[in-house]
Amino acid sequence: MKILLRRLAYVATFDTEDRELTDADILIDGPRIAAIGHDLPAGDVERVIDGTGLLALPGLINAHQHLFQASLRTLPPLERSGMPRFLDLQNELVLRRWQEGRFRAADIGAIARAALAESVLGGVTTVADQHTVFPGEEPEPYVEAVIEAAAEVGVRLHAGRGSVTFSRTRGGMIDDVFAEPVDAVLRHAEHLIATHHDPEPYAMTRIVLAPSGVVSDVPEMFRAFADLAAAHPGVRLHTHLHHHEDTRLAQARFGTSPWRILNEHGFTGDRLWVAHGVTPPPEEIAEYAAAGIGVAHIPAADLKLGWGLAPVRRYLDAGVTLGFGTTGSMTNDGANLLGDLRLAALAHRAPRTEPEEWPTARELLAMATRGSAACLGRPDLGSLAVGQAADISCWDLTTVDRAGAHDPLAALLFTGLSDIAALVLVNGIPVVEGGKVTRVDVAAAAREVRALSVADVAGRR
Ligand SMILES: [Zn+2]
């Protein structure tokens, strides 16, 4: 289908030249952008969408999510809590739900549907999910359920097959019921790649091999995943690196940095991106750049857990690829990427820093678009240019909170009342129009998650 977005008030392309255009058109042909310019001829287009008053950006890319946590938001014990208590409560609640038959694949699909609907409403067009909890001997098809939910909503998904292979009785932080043998994880990962992974441009589904991290996995898991990824184009590696517990426990268990363990076991190179990177030893930052890994900045969870902020300016200065993510909803209650960009824009203005070090609105939006795309290995995403995927998110610049704003991109981050996108397209298909999700019933999706969550809430009051 050919669609013409006509007379967009402002287009920020985040292309190689950082072009920004006013009063511009975007022509979409099938899944790709066919032209960007002024007064493009409508020709044989099937649909013209009025872009008056809209700011258009490349669709935002959430480079780190745990969708299953979206029904475990604002748990009172976690309002002021570090990571050990968060993991204990995750263990307890997921185990209870599973024992009560409320952690079935269909439940995870319902939760993902709601969280993905929330994501597209916020202008997110691609989500990298990491599902890490597979209770029992014969785990349910949780990743498959998330893939199905993403297809229903129309959002692009990089589905992470997570793992826990180093559990509590061996000295880890996660209950044994969630631990799996390396072989079993590999078999399922191979099945997912064979069944769902699409290495082609404009792919809607890719598989990511995403162990929990050095804290919760045995080193053999990293090696096995690295070898598997090497055999499949477009299959990437993802894990947690250098949050406080990761740094601390790697030191206790291996006497070294978790980055050294990952490196020794093949988890490196430009196939890898990591989440958090809050507490890297300063000398490692140049190694990340040289290795070509990406780092997803997750400021909301890093702040909520009391970890502080990742050294974003030092990463940028060193040439490290930086993406942006929300992580799951037990450590960041929402999935509002734009809200987290605003938080980052302000939180990095800490005392004893110079204003020139603070990330700009454009730098942060670049992380959440082409930066995250680079993390995911998607040169076809993250910018608006001819041949790129038609993943386009538009916000209304005529809202009352943006009246008087002088810079549309800064207005998107710093005003804040109108975070819901007016129009979102993924692969040229409108998934949000008029500020409403087009393909799923959002109220019904929310109702399902409320029903799943109510027993936990009752139990904790
Ligand atoms: Zn995470």
Taking the centre of ligand 1 as the mean of its atom positions, its distance from the CA of residue 297, in whole angstroms, is: 11
The alpha carbon of 35 and the centre of ligand 1 are apart by a number of angstroms equal to 37
Domain with CATH 3.20.20.140 in the chain: 60-376
pLDDT per residue, tens digit, the chain (461 aa), is: 999 999 999 999 999 999 999 999 999 999 999 999 999 999 999 999 999 999 999 999 999 999 999 999 999 988 998 888 888 888 899 999 999 999 999 999 999 999 999 999 999 999 999 999 999 889 999 999 999 999 999 999 999 999 999 988 988 888 899 999 999 999 999 999 999 999 999 999 999 999 999 999 999 999 999 999 999 999 999 999 998 888 988 999 999 999 999 999 999 999 999 999 999 999 999 999 999 999 999 999 999 999 999 999 999 999 999 999 999 999 999 999 999 999 999 999 988 889 999 999 999 999 999 999 999 999 999 999 999 999 999 999 999 999 999 999 999 999 978 899 999 999 999 999 999 999 999 999 999 999 998 876 555 54
CA of 445 to the centre of ligand 1 (A): 24
Question: What residue type is 197 in one-letter code?
Answer: H
Distance 243 CA to ligand 1 centre (A): 10
Hey, what amino acid is at 137?
E
Distance 202 CA to ligand 1 centre (A): 26
CA of 322 to the centre of ligand 1 (A): 16
C-alpha 13 to ligand 1 mean position (Å)? 29
Collapsing DSSP to helix, strand or coil, 196 comes out as: helix
CA 75 to ligand 1 center in whole angstroms? 17
Cα–ligand 1 centroid distance for 166 (angstroms): 17
- For domain 60-376, which architecture applies? Alpha-Beta Barrel (3.20)
pTM of the model: 0.97
Distance 223 CA to ligand 1 centre (A): 20
3-state DSSP call for residue 225?
Answer: helix
Query: Which residues in the chain are classed under CATH 2.30.40.10?
Result: 2-58+388-437
Kindly report the backbone phi and psi dihedral angles of residue 45, in degrees, each rounded to the nearest multiple of 5, phi listed first.
Answer: -65, 145
Task: Answer for the pair 384, 8: CB distance below 8 angstroms, yes or no.
Answer: no
Centre of ligand 1 from the C-alpha of residue 432, in Å: 27
Q: How far is CA 223 from CA 37, 211, 213, 395, in A?
A: 47, 11, 12, 43
Query: What is the C-alpha to C-alpha distance for residues 130 and 99, in angstroms, rounded to an integer?
Result: 22
**Arch. (CATH architecture) of 2-58+388-437:** Roll (2.30)
Ligand 1 centroid – CA 448 distance (Å): 24
Could you give phi then psi for residue 327, rounded to 5 degrees?
60, -170
Q: What spacing in Å lies between the alpha carbon of 132 and ligand 1's midpoint?
A: 9
- For ligand 1, the distance from its centroid to the CA atom of residue 249, given in whole angstroms, is 16
